[in-house]
Amino acid sequence: MKKIKIPVYFYPLAAMLFWGLSFIWSALLLNYYQPVTIIFIRLVISSALLFSTIFLLGKYEQIARKDYPLIFLSALFNPFLYFLGENYGLKYSTPTLAAVIIATIPVFSPVVGFLSFREKLTPVNFVGIAVSFAGVILMLITRDLSLAADINGILFLFGAVLAALFYTVTLRKLSMKYSALSLVANQNLIGIILFLPFFLIFEAKSALLVPITYEVITSMLLLSILASSVAFVFFAHSVKVLGISKSNIFSNLIPVFTAIFSYLLLSELFTLQKTVGMMLVIGGVYLSERNRKRA
């Protein structure tokens, strides 16, 4: 039987789709739970799923003792610091605006990629990043040029961006030695340990009082399985094959997916300004992918 070959760009595209939808699912859950509770539960479900998959497929990998510090550092950046910034940022903004800020990751990732791994981009690629960033800004501001979100939410979200950039550096180093499945499973497990004290001290009592509805169950499962498990495995594989900068460029598509599904599922306003911004984002992604060189 002929083996089906999956195009390499399928992995980052699917990851960005699931992450774009994650803002919708998280926004729905924030009507019921506090941010740490959402993160803790999704990591528990995700870790259970990933480790079950690892043992069922016989894909368990022993982490070398010398790599323990780097594994812990990667988990500190993501899921711990990244999810804190993302969820608290989402609490003080909207799904689309949160996704727009997260989409600035590719603007800074070339610098991180160059300093860490000597990855290079051509002038055309930088033009693409600039165009894409212009689209992001257009989606972030209102007609009177004011910010369309609480400043606290914006700061939390840019904190998440910073955590994501450092995470990609540690991930690139680890992905050369371990499978994406193993890495994400171990990072999520460490994330559970890091979040556990905060959950027990601050949010456990209120979480127990939340009624379990169909919306809560479906949103949590989709968030845990697709956004916290499948998407991270796909992205880790993408970083291994394509590199940091090239993989992160696809992050520009996150606000596009989020805006579309916010309109369809949450009835969020879909303006001409937002449409033009998304077109710039897509055009920037195309330019950023042209004739890219890596030393």
Q: How far is CA 29 from the centre of its chain?
A: 17
Per the CB < 8 A criterion, the answer to whether 254 and 104 are in contact is no
CA distances from 210 to 31, 144, 194, 196, 204 (A): 10, 39, 23, 19, 10
Rounded CA separation 214/212 (Å): 7
Report the pLDDT value the prediction gives residue 294, as an integer from 0 to 100.
Answer: 44
Per the CB < 8 A criterion, the answer to whether 27 and 92 are in contact is no
Name the residue with higher pLDDT: 51 or 60: 51
State which residues form the domain around 79: 10-288
Rounded to two decimals, the pTM is: 0.84
Residue 205 inside a domain? The answer is: yes
**pLDDT per position as a tens digit, 187-209:** 999 999 999 999 999 999 999 99
**pLDDT per position as a tens digit, 141-166:** 777 767 667 889 889 999 999 999 88
Provide the pLDDT confidence category of residue 110 given band limits of 50, 70 and 90: low
Count of domains for the chain: 1
Rounded CA separation 288/106 (Å): 10
Provide the pLDDT confidence category of residue 220 given band limits of 50, 70 and 90: very high
Q: Does the pLDDT value for residue 112 go beyond 60?
A: yes
Which of 80-89, 172-181, 258-267, 282-291 is least confident?
282-291
Residue 21 inside a domain? The answer is: yes
Which of 49-53, 120-124, 147-151 is least confident?
120-124
Residue 2 inside a domain? The answer is: no
Rounded CA separation 268/27 (Å): 12
Residue 1 inside a domain? The answer is: no
Residue 276 inside a domain? The answer is: yes
Residue 5 inside a domain? The answer is: no
Residue 56 inside a domain? The answer is: yes
Residue 294 inside a domain? The answer is: no
